[in-house]
Amino acid sequence: MTINLPPLSAIRAFEAASRHLSFTKAGDELGLTQAAVSYQIKLLEEKLGFAVFERKTRKIDLTQKGALLAEGVVEAFSRLRQTFQDVQDADASELVVSSNTTFAVNWLASRMFSFQMQNPDIAVRLVSYGPWEKPKFDQADVTISACYPPPKGNLFIPLIAADFTPLVAPQLAESIGGINTPADLLKLPIIDPDDPWWRTWFSAAGLPDADLTKWPTSRMGSQALEANRAIAGQGVAILTPYFCRQALQQGQLIQPFDLVCAANDESWALSYPPRNKNSRKVRLFQDWVVSELGRDGLHCPEAVLIGQDD
Amino acid sequence: MTINLPPLSAIRAFEAASRHLSFTKAGDELGLTQAAVSYQIKLLEEKLGFAVFERKTRKIDLTQKGALLAEGVVEAFSRLRQTFQDVQDADASELVVSSNTTFAVNWLASRMFSFQMQNPDIAVRLVSYGPWEKPKFDQADVTISACYPPPKGNLFIPLIAADFTPLVAPQLAESIGGINTPADLLKLPIIDPDDPWWRTWFSAAGLPDADLTKWPTSRMGSQALEANRAIAGQGVAILTPYFCRQALQQGQLIQPFDLVCAANDESWALSYPPRNKNSRKVRLFQDWVVSELGRDGLHCPEAVLIGQDD
DNA sequence: ATCTATGCATAAGGGAAATTTATGCATGAC
DNA sequence: GTCATGCATAAATTTCCCTTATGCATAGAT
């Protein structure tokens, strides 16, 4: 099955030289000197044991065997180039974005249209993952994640601080005569009481021992679903205010306390493997995300290299 | 026309890895370590901007794009291998021998059959060149020449000293009452009087001023033709005794004088370009020539490298 | 005929890139 | 839990590829 080929650089030089019938022109095409091509051809002839070019003065011709070789070699390289071209074209035209559901629903979904209008040559495929899945950093061109640090070596841009505070529908707050102290919250149904954010927030609010066990476990899996239940008046949820701007502005939800906690490691961030550093589609997407955030008054730091693995 | 391909060594590693779905096995096939393949694949992915393999535990799979690439790349390499295989097979099975006419007629012709019997897989093409042509060292696998030194770098085996002495048909010698002194030769027609060998020989025989101009110029071009004329009694020729062994043994020719001159640079020799150093067919031919000469009691020195150009 | 420009060959030297060695890590099998 | 397998990674080394600087031959021009 496996015949030993001569050195591939020699074959490549031969391929170009056989098309141009000139070492000098072949060198130009390959970005090499004439001497380099001459060297490679000689090497090839050495390996093969026969001449592939006849050296005339100021021109070269393929020998008979050289011509036979050239035919197959040129075709093989043509096939190679075509293959890479095709796949690279396909790659350039499809952007796979992996995002956790929260970000996808609260942020991406409503804005993606603008990206697609700006970049009609790029097809976007959005792959979201739930809160119990790990982001598939390696299967997407770019990933938006929280909680999980990207693999070492990835490029990383913090987007949005994952801060949180209880939010509640105004009618529900009224139903207990208004919410004045953190303890008042415990009079209401707690949406997703297992979310560790609750414990963090109650501790910061001076109630480290708040009993959160009396409500049934029901992790929703995304802030979008929790927010919907809160808006529907089914309970009080712990949410990131930025994602609920609209509901807050429109009065569907209110924020009873100024106390907003921030998760340390759990900011939303955009990241991608280093091989995409120069990828056009990834750059376009990153720039678009950053500019969208800018329109909300949020400014993102530069991309940094992740130095440590999880 | 010319798309930049990723590094060819990376493509080669990918080709093997995509067939084996294993870096380790690909390394084995290519004669590399697993680490080298891993490195090359990573390099390729870096250049392309997307992954070609999905790393699972203890196995790898092609990604979607990787699979597209693999198809074309494997085919292209298959084409390359086939091409080189075919041409190398063709090369191995045809031996082109360039020889001057003298050696071809006097020596090769009658013996070539034995070589072909010993090596039925090798087709021999004999290209002879006349005395006024230069040997085409570069167009033959192996060249047998005299007078012209092979190009620098060629391998070179002296075969037969080009010595010479006048030979004549016995009847012709009788016709002038026998040949007793070198001057007697001048009473007979001189075949090919322009051959510089005559001047050399007459000088050595004490007649540096022998007048050779009275016979018409007629360079025959090969000892075979001159020998035939001598045998036919048309004159006296200056010939290499080794090539006329048969005629001398059978009494068709006689050698009037023991004086045999040797040409310095003009021995017959076998030579070939250095790229054929390890060529099977050339080695077989060289060994056969040497052994044939050995049967005539002649022993050849080792091959030497030509250090100076003509 | 002489001169010039063009194109390939060659030698020496430098340097980038490929490869190896020596690890580490994850996981599937026992 | 332990071992074996297979890929990843870092550092060091080596290979060999390429360039620079020449030489040489000759076709074409004057």
* pLDDT tens readout for residues B13-61: 999 999 999 999 999 999 999 999 999 999 999 999 999 999 998 899 9
Residue A52 burial (CB count, 10 A):
25
Is domain B92-162+265-305 given the CATH code 3.40.190.10 in the classification?
Answer: yes
Is pLDDT of B270 > 70? yes
Query: With bands split at pLDDT 50, 70 and 90, how would you rate the model's confidence at B138?
Result: confident
- CATH number assigned to the domain covering A8-89: 1.10.10.10
- Phi/psi class of residue A192: alpha, beta or left (left: φ > 0; alpha: ψ in -120 to 50)? left
CA distances from B177 to B170, B174, B185, B188, B255 (A): 11, 5, 11, 11, 15
Q: Say whether A5 and B84 touch across the interface (CB within 8 A).
A: yes
Which residue in B has a C-alpha nearest to residue A141's C-alpha? B50
Is A69 an interface residue toward B (CB < 8 Å)? yes
**Domain spanning B163-262: which superfamily?**
Periplasmic binding protein-like II (3.40.190.10)
Q: Do A80 and B76 touch (CB under 8 A)?
A: yes
Residue in A6, A67, A14 with CA at minimum distance from that of residue B12: A6
Separation in Å, CA of A136 to nearest CA in chain B: 11
Token pair belonging to A11: 């074959």
**Largest separation between any pair of C-alpha atoms in chain A:** 103
Would the Cβ of A22 be found within 7 angstroms of any atom in strand C?
yes
Amino acid at site B72: G
Indicate the SS3 state at residue B223.
helix
Subunit contact A65:B90, Cβ cutoff 8 A: yes
Please report, for chain B, the start and end positions of each structural domain, with discontinuous segments joined by +: 8-91, 92-162+265-305, 163-262
Q: In angstroms, how far is CA A118 from the centroid of its own chain? A: 18
pLDDT(B221) > 70 = no
| Structure-derived torsion over alpha carbons of residues B236, B242, B243, B248, reported in degrees to the nearest 10 | 60
B141 touches chain A (CB under 8 A): yes
Q: What is the mean pLDDT of chain B?
A: 88
Q: Residue B308 pLDDT more than 50? A: no
Q: Which pLDDT band holds residue A309 (cuts at 50, 70, 90)?
A: very low
Is the Cβ pair B275, A9 closer than 8 Å? no
Helix (H) or strand (E) holding A189: none
Residue B65 and residue A232: Cα distance in Å, rounded? Answer: 45
pLDDT 10s digits, B246-256: 889 999 999 99
* Low-confidence winner among A165-179, B247-261, B265-279 (lowest mean pLDDT): B265-279
Would the Cβ of A39 be found within 7 angstroms of any atom in strand C? Answer: yes
Assess if CATH 1.10.10.10 describes domain B8-91.
yes
pLDDT tens digits for B52-90?
999 998 899 999 999 999 999 999 999 999 999 999 999
**Is the fold of A92-162+265-305 the same as that of A163-262?**
yes
Q: How far is the CA of B192 from the C1' of D11 (A)?
A: 76
Q: Report which of A255, A227, A274 is spatially closest to residue A170, judged by C-alpha positions.
A: A255
Strand D closer than 7 Å to the CB of A31? yes
pLDDT of residue B310: 36
Nearest to A276 among B49, B81, B275 (CB): B49
Contact criterion met (CB below 8 Å) for A43 and B57: no
Query: Tell me, what's the pLDDT at A288?
Result: 95
Measured between CB atoms, does A46 come within 8 Å of chain B?
Answer: yes
Band the pLDDT of A310: cuts 50, 70, 90: very low
Q: Is B204 within 8 Å of chain A by CB? A: no
* B136 in reach of chain A (CB within 8 A): no
Residue range A264-278, pLDDT digits in tens: 666 788 989 888 888
The answer to whether A91 contacts B141, with C-beta atoms less than 8 Å apart, is no
